[in-house]
Amino acid sequence: MIRSILTTAMLIGLAGPALAEEDEAAQATRWQELKSTLFGDRPVIEDSNVITLDAPTRALDASTVPIGVSMSTAGPQISGGVTKLWLVVDGNPSPIVGAFSFGPDADPRSLRTRVRVDQYTLIHAVAETANGRLFSTAKFVKAAGGCSAPSTKDPQLAMSRLGEIRVRLEGNSVPVEGSVTTAQLLISHPNNNGMQMDQLTHNYIPPHYIQTVKVTYGSKLVFSVDADISLSEDPAITFGLRLDGDGPLHVEVQDSAKGDYRRDFALLKGS
Amino acid sequence: MAEIAPGIHVRHGVHEEATAANQDGIANIGFVVGEKSVAIIDPGGSRDDGQALRSHVRAVTDLPISHVVLTHFHPDHVFGCVAFEADKPHFVAHARALALLVTRGEFYRNSLADILGLEAAGDYEKPAMLVTDRATIDLGGRSLSLQAHRTAHTDNDLTILDDRTATLWTGDLLFIDRVPAIDGSILGWRAVIDTLRQMPVKLAVPGHGPVSVAWPAGLDDESRYLDLLTREIRAVIARGGSIEEAVGTVGLSERSRWLLFDDYNGRNVTTAFKELEWE
């Protein structure tokens, strides 16, 4: 039986063929432009010793592509460690997924999230170190249609839990003060990018998306992110956390409709 | 083409992806013949698939084609609409189908055109008769009861029950042999299956699978698969596991029981995980 991968996804329709797949030269040009916009003339060094990106070669669901970044925190190149991270889906209408800033209570060795991918594209991750150097890595992902995919299967349910925030510790680990743990932040938000249609009115839904997320532990910053519409609906961010004192873990989310959602989590037993 | 009950004709869809050889004739489609008119239940997956279906109708009866009912918005069920334009039928669908036909239709059409060519790909028609809950179609001496469902396989699944023979067209609420594809809600789909079990049905036409199955036993395999995914994904979430881990581990004991399993299971797990992590 001849099976076309291309049509596999058609029955569902969220991933599919790139209608106009860019050649390598076009991809390079696009990245040059993005890099110049973000970083001006600063040198950006591709170095897999400093930063690597994990992403599926072919996405199962273009509206929710899980990606992960691993960053080195030691070595002569990166004295002071990683302080900032940019995630960029080059081929998206609005390519910046987010600009992350790490604080003293972060463990920036690993960060995972889920992104939308609108066409076959390179995804870039760029880390900035405390001494002001920029390091990048990239991966090519085959996925299409993730930006116009209906943002949610059940709009009423999605709006009823808008702004709900959950945090869980990976592997349900029992946290100990002073240790480093991995936590997942889940935010219920449609993250509408203005490219989906309302099911009842058949008008395009105005953009309504998360702009900033700030996570602190006690009085210290873990990370903050300036986000954009390439983040998936119901964003999920898995990050390293230094349990420096009693906490609590505090999460603040602001969206483009002036929504402001906050929640505290006591992670240590008895705190 | 098989007449599975008096006046109910079904064309079996092959268990393949769309190719030039099969003209996207991969879904079960067909028609119901009344005393005054004919209703098409899913016009097929392309222009030629729809035209072949129309020829089958004309080999059986000269009665007018009064309705073309879409069980949901997926391309393998709707792109044969173009073959029935000249009949000027009422195009009928779940009220929520229109938005998805419009938002995803062009993407589907371009994808299908890459395989079949643009003209042969066919196209959908915008349905004018939209069902929000229930509706009845009168074909003269026999009526069809339409029911719009909550989000399940998609958010716009419509079932059609023929009152004369108690035959239920399930659309893609029922997959047999070919692995189910979740484009809606796994919990909603399981709830709809429970609703379907209670309906006064003798025989059913699944969207993919044999042209007819006994009721409600025909639901059992699909129900088992969806129950298993739900149970295993909940277990991954409960132990703090990731969506990537779920994709790599969940549902695999069903692998030998379904056609096209590797093409759809990972995506089903992704869709279901996103739903279940917010329970």
Q: Does the beta-carbon distance from B247 to A169 stay under 8 Å?
A: no
Chains A, B: CB contacts within 8 A come to: 133
Q: Are A90 and A121 in contact (CB under 8 A)?
A: yes
Lowest mean per-residue pLDDT among A147-156, B7-16, B19-28: A147-156
B74 contact A CB<8A = yes
A59 contact B CB<8A = no
Chain B residues close to A60, C-beta within 8 Å: 247, 266-267, 270
Model confidence band, residue A23 (pLDDT cutoffs 50, 70, 90) = confident
Shortest Cα distance, chain A CAs vs residue B263, angstroms? 6
Q: Does the beta-carbon distance from B271 to A172 stay under 8 Å?
A: no
pLDDT mean over A123-146: 90
Find, among B159, B148, B207, the residue nearest to B10 by Cα: B207
Long-range contact pairs involving A34-39 (C-beta distance under 8 Å, separation at least 24): A34/A88, A34/A90, A34/A95, A34/A124, A38/A86, A38/A88, A38/A96, A38/A126, A39/A126, A39/A134
d(CA A19, CA B186): 30
Mutation site, A7, A63, A112, A186, interface B, largest B CB count within 10 A:
A7
Q: Does the beta-carbon distance from B98 to A202 stay under 8 Å?
A: yes
Please tell me the total number of residues recorded for chain B in this structure.
279
Chain B residues close to A63, C-beta within 8 Å: none
pLDDT at residue A11 in the model: 39
pLDDT in tens, A214-251: 999 999 999 999 998 899 989 999 999 999 888 899 99
* Residue A17, pLDDT above cutoff 60: no
Q: Does the beta-carbon distance from A172 to B76 stay under 8 Å?
A: no
* Residue A21, pLDDT above cutoff 70: no
* Residue A179, pLDDT above cutoff 60: yes
Shortest Cα distance, chain A CAs vs residue B72, angstroms? 11
* Residue B167, pLDDT above cutoff 50: yes
Q: For the domain covering A5-265, report its CATH number.
A: 2.60.40.2470
Q: Are A258 and A123 in contact (CB under 8 A)?
A: no
pLDDT in tens, B110-145: 889 999 999 999 999 999 999 999 999 999 999 999
d(CA B181, CA B265): 8
pLDDT at residue A146 in the model: 65
pLDDT at residue A2 in the model: 32
pLDDT at residue B271 in the model: 93
pLDDT mean over A176-189: 92
Q: Are A40 and A30 in contact (CB under 8 A)?
A: no
pLDDT at residue A229 in the model: 84
The verdict on ipTM greater than 0.85 is no
For chain A, which residues make up each domain, given as ranges? 5-265
Could you tell me the two tokens for B131? 């069902």
d(CA A66, CA A54): 9
Q: Which CATH architecture has domain B2-218?
A: 4-Layer Sandwich (3.60)
pLDDT mean over B243-256: 96
Chain A residues close to B100, C-beta within 8 Å: 150, 199
Shortest Cα distance, chain B CAs vs residue A101, angstroms? 24
- Three-class DSSP category at A22: coil
pLDDT at residue B104 in the model: 81
Residues in CB range of A262: below 8 A, 6 or more apart: A165, A250, A251, A252, A253
A148 or B182: whose pLDDT is higher? B182
User: Which residue in the set B151, B267, B275 is minimally distant from A61, CB to CB?
Assistant: B267
User: Which residue in the set A7, A172, A200 is minimally distant from B17, CB to CB?
Assistant: A7
Q: Does the beta-carbon distance from B111 to A7 stay under 8 Å?
A: yes
* Residue B215, pLDDT above cutoff 60: yes
pLDDT mean over A21-28: 83
For chain B, which residues make up each domain, given as ranges? 2-218, 225-276
d(CA B102, CA B81): 14
- φ and ψ at residue B234, rounded to 5 degrees: -60, -35
DSSP state for residue A26 in the 8-state scheme? H
pLDDT in tens, A187-199: 999 888 776 666 5
* Residue B79, pLDDT above cutoff 90: yes
pLDDT at residue B21 in the model: 96
Write out residues 209-248 of A within 8 Å (CB-CB) of B.
234, 236, 238
CB neighbours (10 Å) of residue B112? 26
B274 contact A CB<8A = yes
pLDDT at residue A15 in the model: 35
A7 contact B CB<8A = yes
Chain A residues close to B263, C-beta within 8 Å: 3, 8
A179 or B187: whose pLDDT is higher? B187
Question: What does the mean pLDDT of chain A come to?
Answer: 84
Chain B residues close to A10, C-beta within 8 Å: 17-18, 75-76, 108, 111-112
**Between B186-197 and B220-238, two packed helices, what is the crossing angle to 10 degrees?**
150
* Residue A145, pLDDT above cutoff 80: no
B193 or A120: whose pLDDT is higher? B193
B215 or A75: whose pLDDT is higher? B215
Mutation site, B14, B16, B17, interface A, largest A CB count within 10 A:
B17
Could you tell me the two tokens for B50? 């729809």
Could you tell me the two tokens for B137? 């179609």
B75 or B99: whose pLDDT is higher? B75
DSSP β-bridge partners for residue A142: A58
Chain B residues close to A110, C-beta within 8 Å: none
Residue type, B151: T
Model confidence band, residue A4 (pLDDT cutoffs 50, 70, 90) = very low
pLDDT at residue B19 in the model: 95
- φ and ψ at residue B277, rounded to 5 degrees: -70, -10
pLDDT mean over B176-198: 96
Residue type, B71: T
Find, among B117, B130, B48, B36, the residue nearest to B81 by Cα: B48
* Residue A7, pLDDT above cutoff 70: no
Q: Does the beta-carbon distance from A114 to B243 stay under 8 Å?
A: yes
A20 contact B CB<8A = no
